[in-house]
Structures are given as structure tokens and as C-alpha cells.
């Protein structure tokens, strides 16, 4: 299986929780979202342990993908660290935000696309 990891944005905790409850109810989905209170490699690795209805994927390979992203996409990581710090400094929002990343399982995504054309 091959995987992709990317940081995709900042969202309020409640919105992320609602998304996890509604959209990620299927274990056989093609993507999972990781939320963290800090933009660090360790935080995202830890977030893999608490994925809602964790799919049956190779999570060691996913951790490796996250590490590779962190080491090869330094500009993106720095950008999101700055954006997240700015959001945390907002007195109206404070620590009510999470930084969110997405993990994609390409095999599952390919299967989802193929089933679109079967019906």
C-alpha cells in the first residue's frame, strides 16, 4: 500500500470532532484526518493512535510517510507552524483550534474511484 500525508489547515476543535463523527464512520474509507494541538512531528505521529474508527492500514508505513514529509517539506511545515501559531495567538480563538493533516491510502482511493464507474 502507498500513502500520502499533507497538512491541510486549521479548524476549530468542535468542527473537527463533528467531522470525525459524521464523515469518518466507515473503516474502509480512503482517507483519515489527524488533528493536533501543536504542529510537531511527534504530535502528528501520536495523532495516528487516536484516529476515529481506525482503518486497517499499515500504520507503521504511515508514520514513515509522515516522517518523510516532515524531512522533505520543510517550507510547508514552517508555513503551517507559523499559521497555527498566529491562530493560537488570536485571543478570540486561542487553544480552541487544531492543526489538521490528511492521510490518504491510494489503494483504497483507487478502489473508491473504480466503484464509481461500476454502477
* Interval 75-113: pLDDT, tens: 999 999 999 999 887 766 556 899 999 999 998 888 877
Q: Cα 43–45–49 angle (5° rounding)? A: 105
* Interval 33-63: pLDDT, tens: 999 999 999 999 999 998 877 888 999 999 9
- The helix (run of H) or strand (run of E) holding residue 9 is strand 3-12
| Alpha-carbon distances, residue 60 vs 25, 56, 67, 75, 90 (angstroms) | 22, 12, 11, 25, 36
Amino acid at each position: 500500500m502507498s500513502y500520502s500525508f499533507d497538512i491541510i489547515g486549521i479548524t476549530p476543535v468542535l468542527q473537527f470532532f463533528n467531522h470525525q463523527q459524521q464523515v469518518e464512520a466507515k473503516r474502509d474509507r480512503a482517507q483519515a484526518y489527524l488533528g493536533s494541538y501543536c504542529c510537531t512531528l511527534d504530535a502528528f505521529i501520536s495523532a495516528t493512535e487516536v484516529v476515529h474508527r481506525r482503518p486497517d492500514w499499515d500504520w507503521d508505513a504511515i508514520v514513515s510517510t509522515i516522517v518523510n514529509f516532515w524531512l522533505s517539506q520543510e517550507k510547508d511545515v514552517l508555513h503551517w507552524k507559523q499559521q497555527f501559531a498566529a491562530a493560537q495567538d488570536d485571543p478570540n480563538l486561542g487553544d480552541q483550534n487544531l492543526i489538521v493533516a490528511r492521510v490518504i491510502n491510494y489503494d483504497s482511493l483507487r478502489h473508491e474511484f473504480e466503484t464509481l464507474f461500476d454502477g
